[in-house]
Amino acid sequence: MTKVRFERGKFAELEQKLGYRFKNKGLLSKALTHSSLKYGATDFERLEFLGDRVLGLVISEYIYLHFPTREGEMARMQSAFVCAQSCYEIGLNINLPDEIQTAGQHLKSNKTVLADAVEALLGAIFIEGGYDEVKKVVNNLWSPLIVNYDEDSMEPKTVLQEITQAETGLIPCYTLIETTGPSHEPEFLVQVQASNQTACAKGKSRKIAETNAAKILLQRRKIGSLE
């Protein structure tokens, strides 16, 4: 079945978008066979694991070479580019839902599935072509995200979560401290804890309070990185 698909040039468009042509079509097939199909689980997950690490290295090198900024800002940028959302957007850009093989049609548009598949593809390219080839692919696919990067336009809770996960593997913890004011116009006080730092903020809803707390903590981190 896989052989027929390649004979028809099914993956030619994908390879063109990647900017890389696989010599080993079986390796490409493994990268596109999601772990929901039991027979592809091991290969897909191993390639995904490798691709995640390779992506992190390529992006870190790019930031180091092209952005003369301090470590704190470098970490924020790295977290923004090496995350599930970025990989998901890349997956959509290269029409990956049309190519990936899954146990159910609904999985083809799943954010996590597509993000994992992008990393699996990068892992496969690294195995076959080496670091220089996978770097070309990442620089090509990620360049629009990098060019349009604007930390201030990103949702503060998302930015804080990506940074915290990159640093500790954990997510920020938001705690409701108290609710004050009349029932028709309450005010919420929330504390956020992330990477051994805390911040408190108020808002007219719990969500707004959490967003404000994340903003405060991010601002403190930015100031700290400049000192």
Residue 90 contacts by C-beta under 8 Å, 6 or more apart in sequence?
Answer: 118, 141, 142, 145
- Give buried/exposed letters for 31-54 (b at 16+ CB in 10 A, else e): bbbbbbeeebeebbeebbebbbeb
Backbone angles phi, psi at 192, to 5 degrees: -115, 140
Question: What's phi and psi for 198, nearest 5 deg?
Answer: -135, 155
Residue 155, Cβ density class (10 Å: 0-12 exposed, 13-18 middle, ≥19 buried): exposed
Sign of CA dihedral 35, 39, 45, 51: negative
Catalytic positions: 52, 119
